[in-house]
Structure 1
Amino acid sequence: MWMERMETIAGLAKEIYSLYNQTQWNKKQCGRLVDRIKILMLPVEFLQKQPQINKDVGKVLEELSQTLENAKSLVAKYTSRGWWKKFFWAFNIMETFELINERLSDAAQGLSLLLQAEERIKFLKKFEEVNQKKQDKKDAEADLEELKKYFEKAADSISDQVDIVHQDVKLVNEGVQQIGANITEMFKLLEKQLNPSALGTTEITKETLKIHEKLMETGSSSLYRGEYHKSIVAIKEFKNPQITDVSLARKTFWREVRTMKKFEHPNILHMYGICIDNSCAPPSFSIVMEYCERGTIREVLKKEQGLTWETYIRMSEGAALGLYRLHQTTEKSVVHGNITSSKFLVDLRYCVKLAGFEISRTESSIKRMSNTDNQKEVHDSAYLSPQALGNINFIQDKPSEIYSFGIVLWEIAARSTPFKGLTTEQIFQKVTQEEYKEPLPEDCPEDLQVLINQCRDYAPELWQTSSWGS
């Protein structure tokens, strides 16, 4: 069964390569897609030589096969010479490529687990070289600019083009008749697509969202599982928003989107955008984000007993990569501000993604605070460094967040709740006065023990040596 699946994947990859050679437009984005697929085929070729594979890898192969089917359909679109097809497909180009590229990134993470540590690093480095969001943006802008020039040239002879399409494609007669009247609007839409703010995170219309079941509810918001352009997403809908000025919320949102682009990474939760519904009074606000099936690290540890150390270590690595990306994105110090196990989300393949900071200003401007939001199984003080516990005016920095991250790593390794049952005052006594460290389990791998204890050390200078700068 799995051998047939890999043969299917190899066949789909070859078909995509062939279709790419026939593309008439969007060649840069299609080329980038092909480069990513070629890198992904390296571990697949390795798998074909193995006598058997485990169930988790089979799931990765199944999802990769479906992603390649979608990629094949996408590339096939752009082999068409018909200019009218270019017109009708022009306005969701980047969004479609982005969704497929995200799925390929997920596949890369899953396939990398099959390789030895050294080979895994080489593979992920190769994939990262062709998986740059900044280059995706440049490719999309170049393709759209070329398409715009094409339309400008076609506009000079629009009457002749309409006659040709009437003769050759009668089924699109009604659409072609509207092209002459809508040509100005078409240029406006293209200009909007070329605006950097339209790449990636965006403002989402209510009509493009489908809401499924409710996942949880607090005093200020409800969280739903939903669907956005056939992708499963999480939709956070705010209750009784304190802001009614839509333009103010929109300005705050776009200002944060520009900042967020610096943090795009497979281990940082992806934010699709904000949805503002003006059809009701007051307006309804929702935030649409990536959906992680298993919930937070805290929920995984509580619900799923008996996971392997390989899984725990993978979760730890994913959490570390997300925090590392945040800390190392800019020269200016950037911190999360509230590192706890509930700020890391886990997807179906135990890939961990850092969350809880993406558009905090937008959320703060919308949300009306509620006492019910403060009900937590683990108090945030369990994660505070000794200096933060001892000084109410302490400002979080990177070294103190390394201490907080050490508590999260302990939580994963011990499969337990930090300072369980203790009050903030008791935690203060334990940490700042007694310099107490909760013990690690005997079966914890030695390297992980050393790392956790370095992060939890009481000397700030040792947090610094445990941080990403060393």
Structure 2
Amino acid sequence: MDQLGKIFSLGQQILKQSNEMKYCQRQSRRLRERVSSLLEATLPPQITAALDNFENALKKAKEMIEKFNTDCKIKKFLMASNNKILFEEVNGKLADVWEVFMMNLQIAQHLSISRISKREFWAQEDKLDAEQDRQLPNKNTEAILKGIEEIKDTLKALTAQEKIQEIKEEELSGSPWKLRKQSEFSELYEGEYYRSPVAIKVFIKTQAKSTGIVRTHFRREISNMRKFDSPSILRIFGICIIEKGSSPRFCLVTEYCERGSLRDVLDEEKNLRLDSRELLARGAAQGLYRLHHSGVPHLHRNLSSSSFLVTRSYEVKLTGFELRETQTSISQEIMEPKTAYLSPQRLENPFNKYDIKAEIYSFGIVLWEIATGKIPFEGYNSKEIYQLVFGKRQQEPLGGDCSPLLQEVIDGCRAYEPSVRPSVDGKVLSSMREILQKLSSVTEKCVKT
């Protein structure tokens, strides 16, 4: 499913760039229609070969664009014989993918064109499109080059996103940085990285005396971060060290989530429907599930509603654990767990071992926030929360509109006794699997109704 997420991201950005091309419009539109039709299909995970071929077909576009990245080569291409087709090789590969999808997904019954004739039909369309595009005046050559350059930049950005790396300052200078948030220790900007929107966290109060130490931590951690690659985990592009002036500036560059944190969404959208809240809960669970399923089980250790970010389309991304050593080597900020999210056992003894049971409790508080929209133990100080949760074993109540199944999940996660919280033999994998399965059942019911 991670591969499907990559393909969808790659396809969506190619659709956007091809839509903005001012010339060779017929061929660009045709490519857009074909990629879009493949993206819209509901793909079962078992057709791995088809997904591999689809990804390779999109990557082939990069090779073709790089071949024509100079004025002389593109002009030579445009002046070639009329049967020259801009995306001929890419379209051939897409046709192969289309045929596999039709056989495996049985979508042929919804189409008026048979699987056998699809390649021939596309070839006819391509020939007509190329003939009409070639009727454009030669003065449009520079504009065509610009459109191809934009697609090339997008593909280059996607290639860069495959790996976490140190980013040069000039690679973030595509547009002015826009300040979105500010705290005592950092400033958060919206910027661009190869035409893609990104979040740029600039550390204010730094303790790093040497850029070498930061780079050492970064290089050690990036290999570990690759195993968290998932649409449900915030994507990390890398760090940028600006070595100008008397002291360096350190920046962390990540995927940009327009709606901010999960807590921001709950504060700003008080009238969220229950089914929307349930979908947010499932999205949050998918992120934590992926973290726990990263080879050797990995715990977040500081979970709260601020640990999840939300995109414009309400996708939820887990954050707050990535490049932890690198950030600690840079910033003076100390990330201490918030009292409202601590399990009774951790409230009683802060040195109590942090395990999957403690993390599940914290996630239960996050689920309670999503279901109610409220801030946990709002108005209470740490001592009062300790007395309520550990001393009196109290849980904050859920609203009457919460579905019974969601309430069962939340109450199970927040159970006072660790043994009652979801898990099988205390294993990380079993705990989040059980929670995600129940939340999936909740969201399936709300979609059907």
1:15 aligns with 2:31: yes
Alignment-derived partner of residue 42 in structure 1: 41
Q: CA deviation at 1:464?
A: 4.1
Aligned residue among 163, 166, 169 for 1:206 = 169
CA distance in 2, matches of 1:81, 1:446: 56
Alignment-derived partner of residue 413 in structure 1: 371
Q: CA deviation at 1:13?
A: 8.5
Gaps of 5+ in 2: 1-14, 20-26, 44-55, 74-103, 106-140, 142-155, 424-429, 435-449
Does the 8 Å CA contact 1:326/1:335 hold for their aligned counterparts?
yes
CA distance in 2, matches of 1:339, 1:198: 26
CA distance in 1, matches of 2:304, 2:67: 53
Give every structure 1 segment of 4 or more consecutive aligned residues whose post-TM-superposition deviation is greater than 4 Å: 11-14, 71-77, 80-85, 196-199
Does the 8 Å CA contact 1:201/1:271 hold for their aligned counterparts?
yes
Q: How many corresponding residue pairs?
A: 312
Q: CA deviation at 1:467?
A: 1.4
Q: CA deviation at 1:313?
A: 1.2
Pick closer, same or farther for the CA change 1:78–1:336 going to 2, 3 Å. Answer: same
Q: What's the CA shift string for 1:396-440, capped at 9, x where partnerless? A: 211211111010000110111111111111111111121111111
CA distance in 2, matches of 1:421, 1:265: 36
Does the 8 Å CA contact 2:203/2:330 hold for their aligned counterparts?
yes
CA distance in 1, matches of 2:419, 2:188: 40
Q: CA deviation at 1:14?
A: 5.7
Gaps of 5+ in 1: 19-33, 45-70, 89-121, 124-170, 172-192
Aligned residue among 332, 353, 370 for 1:395 = 353
Q: CA deviation at 1:394?
A: 1.7
CA distance in 2, matches of 1:218, 1:81: 43
Alignment-derived partner of residue 318 in structure 2: 354
Alignment-derived partner of residue 401 in structure 2: 443
Q: What's the CA shift string for 1:54-76, capped at 9, x where partnerless? A: xxxxxxxxxxxxxxxxx999755
1:69-84 alignment runs, 5 A limit: 76=61, 78-79=63-64, 82=67
CA distance in 2, matches of 1:80, 1:399: 51
Pick closer, same or farther for the CA change 1:82–1:239 going to 2, 3 Å. Answer: closer
The residue matched to 2:177 in structure 1 has which SS? strand
CA distance in 2, matches of 1:416, 1:446: 19
Q: What's the CA shift string for 1:202-250, capped at 9, x where partnerless? A: 1100011134221122222211111111111111111242113112211
1:459 aligns with 2:417: yes
Pick closer, same or farther for the CA change 1:239–1:309 going to 2, 3 Å. Answer: same
Q: CA deviation at 1:381?
A: 0.7
* TM-score normalised over the length of structure 1: 0.59
1:109-258 alignment runs, 5 A limit: 199-210=162-173, 211-258=176-223
The residue matched to 1:295 in structure 2 has which SS? coil
The residue matched to 2:358 in structure 1 has which SS? helix
Q: Which amino acid aligns with 2:431?
A: S
1:364 aligns with 2:363: no
Does the 8 Å CA contact 1:197/1:257 hold for their aligned counterparts?
no
Does the 8 Å CA contact 2:237/2:255 hold for their aligned counterparts?
yes
Alignment-derived partner of residue 298 in structure 2: 334
Does the 8 Å CA contact 1:236/1:287 hold for their aligned counterparts?
yes
Aligned residue among 263, 279, 302 for 2:228 = 263
CA distance in 2, matches of 1:327, 1:342: 18
CA distance in 2, matches of 1:230, 1:80: 17
Aligned residue among 371, 375, 380 for 1:422 = 380
- What is the aligned-residue RMSD (CA, Å)? 3.7
Alignment-derived partner of residue 140 in structure 1: none
The residue matched to 1:443 in structure 2 has which SS? coil
Q: CA deviation at 1:80?
A: 6.4
Q: Which structure's residues are more often helix, by fraction?
A: 1
Does the 8 Å CA contact 2:288/2:432 hold for their aligned counterparts?
no
Alignment-derived partner of residue 290 in structure 2: 325
Pick closer, same or farther for the CA change 1:464–1:446 going to 2, 3 Å. Answer: closer
Pick closer, same or farther for the CA change 1:329–1:440 going to 2, 3 Å. Answer: same
The residue matched to 1:418 in structure 2 has which SS? coil
Pick closer, same or farther for the CA change 1:406–1:255 going to 2, 3 Å. Answer: same
CA distance in 2, matches of 1:447, 1:39: 36
Q: CA deviation at 1:277?
A: 1.3
Pick closer, same or farther for the CA change 1:265–1:277 going to 2, 3 Å. Answer: same
The residue matched to 1:441 in structure 2 has which SS? coil
CA distance in 2, matches of 1:352, 1:421: 27
Q: Which amino acid aligns with 1:385?
A: S
Pick closer, same or farther for the CA change 1:81–1:205 going to 2, 3 Å. Answer: closer
* Percent sequence identity over aligned pairs: 38
Q: What's the CA shift string for 1:143-165, capped at 9, x where partnerless? A: xxxxxxxxxxxxxxxxxxxxxxx
Does the 8 Å CA contact 2:285/2:432 hold for their aligned counterparts?
no
CA distance in 2, matches of 1:296, 1:428: 26
Alignment-derived partner of residue 144 in structure 2: none
Alignment-derived partner of residue 182 in structure 1: none
Q: CA deviation at 1:395?
A: 2.7
Pick closer, same or farther for the CA change 1:316–1:454 going to 2, 3 Å. Answer: same
CA distance in 2, matches of 1:291, 1:297: 14
Q: CA deviation at 1:266?
A: 0.7
Q: CA deviation at 1:297?
A: 1.1
Q: CA deviation at 1:461?
A: 1.3
CA distance in 2, matches of 1:460, 1:197: 43
Range with greater deviation from structure 2 (349-358 or 75-84): 75-84
CA distance in 2, matches of 1:436, 1:467: 23
Q: What's the CA shift string for 1:314-354, capped at 9, x where partnerless? A: 111110000011112123x4110111001111111111111
